[in-house]
Amino acid sequence: MPDENRDTVTDAAPDPVLAEATEAIERHQLWRARDLLAAHVREERDLTALRLLGEVHHGMGDLPAAGAVWFGAGVKGPEVDAAVAAWRDSHGDDFGAMWRSLPRSVRQEPRSKKVEALRSKALEARGSGESTPDPAGSAVSSDASGGGIDAAQIIAWVIAAFVILCAVVGLVEILRWMVPGG
């Protein structure tokens, strides 16, 4: 088990999500624990849940996911170092991709020094044309899928074209009503 960074841990009342995830782990339902914890840390910066999520990913053999979560939680130890190395390797040291792989709650302010340093590297990469986060913490990309097509942009263009088409058809109909003999 990784060493805990006790400087950032705050004592809090037991969390029902953590209790349910722990029960799932005890029942060897790691996928259930993973889903519960991932949903929880998406919105809540809960260092205990992040540490446990990292352990679940590690137990499932997903070292890159464990590395991302443990990096975001500031966990230390030899297992963590190996998992973080696997995380970096899985993204080819693409800082923008690494940034986006962190849970949303970790990317939000206030950030740890390590997470802020990753964000800065991602922003530097953005300046050189690589995909990176915007300052608010959401992903912005000149090539969002690393070489593929950005589906959201295509959908936006299709909707815009449809709206323009409807406006033109409507204008033609209005002119037909207004122009005598048409």
pLDDT of 154 higher than 80: yes
Query: What is the pLDDT at residue 2?
Result: 59
Question: Taking the model in full, what pTM does it have?
Answer: 0.62
9 vs 19, more confident? 19
Contact yes or no for 50/69 (Cβ under 8 A): yes
Domain 6-143 has CATH 1.25.40: yes
Closest Cα to residue 68, out of 90, 84, 48, 85?
84
Higher pLDDT pick, 63 / 142: 63
106 touches 118 (CB < 8 A): no
CA distance 2 to 69: 12
pLDDT (0 to 100) of residue 124: 86
Mean pLDDT of 146-164: 83
- CA dist., res. 56 & res. 64, Å (int): 12
Q: Model confidence over 67-107: pLDDT tens digits?
A: 999 999 999 999 999 999 999 999 998 999 999 999 999 99
Helix, strand or coil, per DSSP, at residue 132: strand
